[in-house]
Amino acid sequence: MQKTVRPIRTGEEYIESLRGRNLKVYLFGELVKEPVDHPIIRPSINAVAKTYDLAVEEEDLASAKSSITGERVNRFLHIAESAQDVVLQNKMQRKLGQLTGTCFQRCVGMDALNSLHSTTFEMDEKHGTKYHKRLLEFIKMVQHENVVIGGAMTDVKGDRSKGPTEQEDPDMFLHIVDRDDKGVYISGAKAHQTGCINSHWMIVMPAIRLTEKDKDYAIVGCIPVDAPGITYIYGRQSCDTRSMEPGDMDQGNSQFSGQEAMVIFDRAFIPNELIFMDGEYEFASMLIERFTCYHRRSYVCKTGVGDVLIGAAASIADYNGIPNVSHIKDKLVEMTHLNETIYGTGIASSYQSHKMKSGVWQNDDMLANVCKHNVTRFPYQIGRFAQDIAGGLMVTLPSEAEFRSPETGPLLKKYLKARKGVDVENKMRILRLIENMTMGRNAVGYLTESMHGAGSPQAQRIQIARIMQLGYKKKLAKDLAKVQEKGEETLENADYFKRVFKLDNSKE
C-alpha cells in the first residue's frame, strides 16, 4: 500500500504531501508539471486543506474516536458508530461550506467508506468472501495516516440506452480487462470526479445496477491516485483563468474553489488486498443505493455555501443603503427559509439513522432523497435572489486592472461609490463574490453540483417513488373513513414507518 512519511495533521502538511507525485494531469492541452503550484488548481487544494485545519481547531466537530484504530481520526475517515456521528458529519459539512464558500471535496470518500462497511459485510455473509476484513485493514491505514480518500462512481456511459456489455466500446464503463494472482487490471473512464487530483487514494465503484453478464464491471477497489495507467484531464470552470491574472479582486473567492476532472484508467492495477467487490454483481445496486443515501444528505454542505451567499447579498444591500427596504428584507428571509429547509431535511435524515448489521449507522433514505431534491432547486432560487439584490453591476463591473489604473481608477471610485462610509473596493469585492458563486468557477460547486451531484433530480424522484408506500397511506385513509375492502396492505407491512417509529433506531 501507498505510505506517507508520517501522519498528516495540518492543512499545510497536507499540501506538502501532494508534492512530487508525478501525476499525469492535463490542463489546456498541456501536462501540468506540479499541480500544487498551478494557479487554477491551487485554490481547490486550499479548500481540502481546510478539512485538516478544522479538525485541529474544532476537534469535537471535525474528528472522532475510532473503535477501529483506537485513535482520534478526521471525521471524513470515520465509520459512523452512532446516529450522532452521522449528524456531526452534516454539522461539519455546513461549517466547511461557510469557511470555503465552495466544495471541499471529501464527502464522496467519506460516504463511500461508510456504505462499503455495510455492503462488504453482507457480501461476506452471503458468499464467504473476505472483503470486509480487507476494508477494515485499509481503513486502519488511512485513519492512522490521515490521508484523503476520493470516490469514483460516475462512468462516461456512452450510449445511455445500453448497458455496460452492450456498448460498442466496452471502456464506456470501468471494467476488469485482465487479472493475475496478485490482482486485477482495469480500464475505462470516470467523469467529473470531485477532488480526485487532491486525493491520496481513489475508490472506484460501479455506477448502475448490474446483471450476471456484467460481472467484469462489478469491481470495487482502492488505488493510489499516482498509480501507473491513470491520466487526469482537468475540467474547465467558468472564469477559471482569472486565477492566472494579477490581483485577486476579479476572482471573487481567490482562496478556494472546487475541482472536477475526467479520470482515464488504462490497465491500472488494483492488488487483491484492496479489492472490495469482484464480480458480485447483485450487490452493485445495494452499494449504489447506500452510497447515494449517505451522499444525498451530505448536500447540506450547500447550506454552508448558501450562508456565504446570503451574507454577500445582505452586505451589498447594506452598502447600497437599502438594508431595510421591505422587498430586500423579504428576499433575504426567503433565501434563509430555502437554505434552512435544505439543512432541516438533511440533518433529519441523519438523526433518523439506524444501525446496520456491520455496526455502521445508515441515515434515513426518504429524507436523504427529499434533501437532495430540494438541493436541485433551492440554491438556484437563492442565487437568483442574490443576483436580483446585487443588481446589474455584478456582471458589468470593470476589471481590477481598471480599478488600479491611475487614469480610470479615480473615475471608478467616484462613480461606483455607494452610501457614505463604504469603501468602493469593498463593494466591488462583494459583487465579484456574488458573481463567482452564481456564475463563476464556484457556481460549479454551488449550482451545477446541486443539480447533478449524487444523481440528477429524476434519480431522487425514482427513489422517493420506491419508498413512499402509498399502500400503507391509503390504508390509513380508508381506516379513518371506515372503508371496507379486501386485499388491502396492512399496517404491519409498512417497513419504512416501522423503522422510523422505532425508538432505538436499530434495523431489524
Q: Catalytic residue positions? A: 103, 107, 194, 260, 295, 299, 301, 449
Cα torsion angle, 362, 365, 371, 373, sign: positive
CA dist list (Å): 151 to 21, 115, 190, 334: 19, 12, 10, 34
Give the Cα separation of 80 and 340 in Å (integer).
Answer: 24
| Backbone phi, psi, residue 470, to 5° | -65, -30
DSSP 13-81: HHHHHTTT----EEETTEE-S-GGG-TTTHHHHHHHHHHHHHHHHSHHHHEEE-TTTSSEEEGGGPPP-
Cα–Cα distance between 266 and 274 in angstroms, integer?
18
Alpha helices in 192-283 (DSSP H): none
Q: List the beta bridge partners of residue 193.
A: 261
Name residues whose C-beta falls within 8 Å of residue 39's C-beta, 6 or more positions apart in sequence. 243, 244
**Sign of the Cα pseudo-torsion (490, 494, 500, 504, in order):** positive
Residue 334 C-alpha cell reads as 426567503
Question: And the C-alpha cell for 164?
Answer: 455496460
Distance of CA 174 to the CA centre of its chain: 21
- What is the number of H-type helices and E-type strands within the chain? 20, 14
How far is Cα 327 from Cα 452, in angstroms, rounded to an integer? 31
Phi, psi of 231 (to 5 degrees): -125, 140
Which residues contact residue 94 at a Cβ distance below 8 angstroms, ignoring those fewer than 6 apart?
300, 301, 303, 304, 307, 343
Where does residue 60 rank: exposed (0-12), middle (13-18), buried (19+ CB within 10 A)? exposed
- Whole-Å CA distances, 506 to 78, 331, 365, 368: 20, 42, 14, 18
C-alpha cell at 201: 487514494
State the Cα–Cα distance between residues 54 and 95, nearest whole angstrom. 9
- R_g (Cα) of the chain, nearest Å: 24
Instruction: For 75-92, give one letter per residue: b (16+ CB within 10 A) or e.
Output: bbbbbbbebebbbbbbbb
Say if strands 25-27 and 230-234 run parallel, antiparallel, or are unpaired.
parallel
d(CA 431, CA 411): 18
